[in-house]
Structure formats: C-alpha cells, structure tokens
Amino acid sequence: MQVQHILKSKADDGVVTVPPGATIAEAARILAERRIGTVVVSEDGETAEGILSERDIVRVLSQRGAAVMEARVSEHMTSKLETTTRAESADQVLSRMTEGRFRHMPVVEEGKLVGIITIGDVVKARLTELAMEKDALEGMITSNW
C-alpha cells in the first residue's frame, strides 16, 4: 500500500499549519481544539518549514517552565523534517517513523504540502490490508475447486 492510498482513506486530508511566529500557547490551543498531535510550521500554508508536536511542547515546558508558552514556535520546532511522497510505501514510512521515533510525517511533493500521515494512519492501513489478505487466503483454502 502506498501513502496516496492512506491519504485517500483519511476523513480529513488537510494539513493544520501555524506560522513560525505563532506562540507555543497558540500552537497548543490549536492542538487541543483540533484534537491532533502535531502542527506543521509554515509561513504560507503550502511549504513545510518545520513541525511542532505535543511531545516537543511537553519537553520544552519541562525544561523552561510555563514562560515558554510565549516563545515563538520557530524556536522549538523540529526543522530537520522527515517527509514522504504519495508514492512511498506504507511499510517504508512505518519503518522510518519507528526508527526515528516520531509519529507524524508531512507528505510533500515538488516542495508543496499535500497531506500528513500519522503512525496510526499507517498501522490502520496495514491492518486493513492484512485482513483482506487473510480473507482472500481463507477463501482460497475453503473454496471447492
């Protein structure tokens, strides 16, 4: 299964972005309101400059205290992004996420954001694929030739 299939199966294929000048408090509010785990940092909403996750916020809060909530997202985002394309396989993405210990990956093509996938999206897609394979195999075994 490819990333493009995962994106098509998602209920919401939009990418939530915040500008680099937004505060950590503003980003946290968006995460809470949208019930999501990460925002892509983008000045124009089309290109990915970085990513900020719940984990990033918790980490910096524990180091610097509540005053960090007024800091700019650009100061604490992950700027070395791991991205994927629609053509990459779910297994490749899952492997990269597991090795890198991150849960969200922007989908970027020709420098533009086209979506975002989570480790949960990939696992769900893989489980669906395995269930279909199981059903096909059971059908082959139990069919009367």
Query: Residue 11 pLDDT > 80, yes or no?
Result: no
Query: Residue 131 pLDDT > 90, yes or no?
Result: no
| Beta-bridge partner residues of 41 | 18, 50
Could you read off the pLDDT of 51-82 as tens digits, one per residue?
999 999 999 999 999 999 999 999 999 999 99
Are the beta carbons of 104 and 38 closer than 8 angstroms?
Answer: yes
Please state the domain count of the chain.
Answer: 1
pTM: 0.84
Average pLDDT, the chain: 92
Phi first, then psi: give them for residue 13, nearest 5 degrees: -95, 10
Collapsed DSSP state (helix, strand, coil) of residue 41: strand
Give the structural domain span for 77: 3-142
- Is 122 buried (19+), middle (13-18) or exposed (0-12) by CB count in 10 A? buried
CATH code, domain carrying 126: 3.10.580.10
Q: Six-digit token pair at 62?
A: 């524990």
CA distance 68 to 63: 9
